[in-house]
Structure 1
Amino acid sequence: MSEKPPQPIIKKIKKVSGDGHHGGAWKIAYADFVTAMMAFFLLMWLLNATSEEQRRGIANYFDPFASTPKGGGNMGVMGGTSIKETVGTFDETQQNKITVKPTPPTEKGPGGEAAGVSENVDPQADDNGGKTEEERQKEAARREIEERLKKTPQTKAYASKQQEEAKLNEISEEIKQNLNKMPELKELSNNIKIELTNEGLNIEIIDQLKNAMFPSGSSRMYKQMEDILKSIAKAIQGVPNKIKISGHTDANQYSQRSMLTNWELSSERANASRRVLVSGGVAEERITSINGRADRELANPTNPYAPENRRVVITLLREIKE
């Protein structure tokens, strides 16, 4: 009996395409879609559950120029972690033009130029002595300020120390009354600290946790800070006392990649305050010094990052010394 030769074994392999019903590519796409939807709903929740100031703080947190996740001024005035300047209501560019009217809100970028604001000079000079439109506006604003200063009664020097102290105390009460008369500033009374010292009358505009005077890392003040300064200018414009202004920050620092420091920030904020006081009627020659103190004179040394360390101090210097 002869044996049959062995038959070859044929193995059939069924290939399953990745595009088939049991493929895995759709799972990756679906996971990406779910992640995107989660991010979208999280963004919607943040926009609805946070205030404008908190959203600004979150934006500063992710600022690539920031040096620390703590955020030096994200929740208040004069924080120094970010060189990015956010939306403010006081336009320093307009103040340089000696504009006496309130200016619209603008943004200022890290380079110091106002975003969305162009200082285009009329290329065609007018027939009035070859002056441009911008030059005419500056001259008109200057004349307006000079006329207003001429009408401001100038108080003569004090006859005695007691008379000067009485006047300084009167100014202190007038500032408080001016703030209370303005509903939008009444709730900011805790941001103002007025104290009579041996040097003179100290008027401190202090940051509070929920009431910021400047955006983080910026010298472009909010409108409420501008309104407070104008109210102070109204009260002090008629006295002869010389004035010094100092700016202070907390201990948070700029990024090491930045050429700016809290020294520049505090100085710029003090100078921005000077411009508002002058536009509000305070004579330029009365201001003797503008100082940036950075974090060298902390109001709360036990907590260098506390909001009250961020402040602007306006001092009416005594005319009659001891």
Structure 2
Amino acid sequence: MSMLFSPITIRGVRLKNRIMMSPMGTLAADQEGKLTEWQYLHYGARAIGQAGLIMIEVTAVERTGADPGGLGLWDDGQEQRLRELVSMLHRQGTAVGMQLGHAGRKKEQGTGFSSSGAAYRGKRTKPMTIAEIERVIEAFRNAAVRARRAGVDVIELHGAHGYLINDFLSPLTNQREDMYGGSRENRYRFLGRTLEKVRQVWNGPLFVRISAEEYHPHGNHIEDHLDFAERMKAQGVDLIDASSGGVTDQKPEVYPGYQVAYAEAIRRQIGMPTAAVGLITCGKQAEEILRKGQADLIAVGRALLKDPFWPRTAAEQLGETISEPAPYRNQWFTTGYTEG
């Protein structure tokens, strides 16, 4: 069997294959941050398509960290629809992850919070007080409790793309002069304390998405994130989801697998499982990444938006036959079938 379609177990949670649906924002939630019918269909299609792990799009831990259409988990009233979605996806044989985050300075409407008041696209942001930092860290903990009660299998913290956790990690945006700014150790403190709080209430697999390269000479690079990864490993993080960019508007040169080297560096040098992401579009490419030991999971984003049945497509490219959903039995891979 190919590695892509071999199972993997992470902290007691078994994934039937190595394909993770990347957390792709839809901004399709209702005005209260609750899931809508469209999102049930959106995620349900990828479960039927046989993704091993569906990572639900970034979900705000506070109303202050969400834009209109963004999912939220800051209130117990948002749990019920999440529980229904998780149960539905479980019935289709997929594991379910939830990415928890806070928009920070990138909040599109209203004033965004930030580590130090750095503007975003010319728009002022509000530097956080210690009390506000403590409140948001507690909000991450409370959202993790709600995710646990809803039956989620994996929690991922969104520490990438210039959002609040990344805002604290990056020397480009974090100009604080207290215990949350300056050195790597201090810039990590916000994430570190958030991980500590989440681990108090969450025993399952815990991932962190990072921007391993910020594409600016004074920003974080892979060397910084190797240091951060050592700290995360010590705090019980199970997997690093290695993305890049988003702190500035600087666009990287993109090509197939352009971020895979970051996942590989963390995996080899820190000894942590990683997910590779970034223009991974076909089964043979995904298989090669796994065979070379560059990553443990393949995070597929836009390719899964274009093709909800991307796992079936990848299997066909690899000469594999995977289990179809029961209503599709003998329809996916058979030859000589004539439509009636």
Common fold: TM-score over 0.5 = no
| Larger relative contact order (CA 8 Å, sep ≥ 6) | 1
TM-score (norm 1): 0.26
Higher strand share: 2
- Which structure would you say has the larger Rg? 1
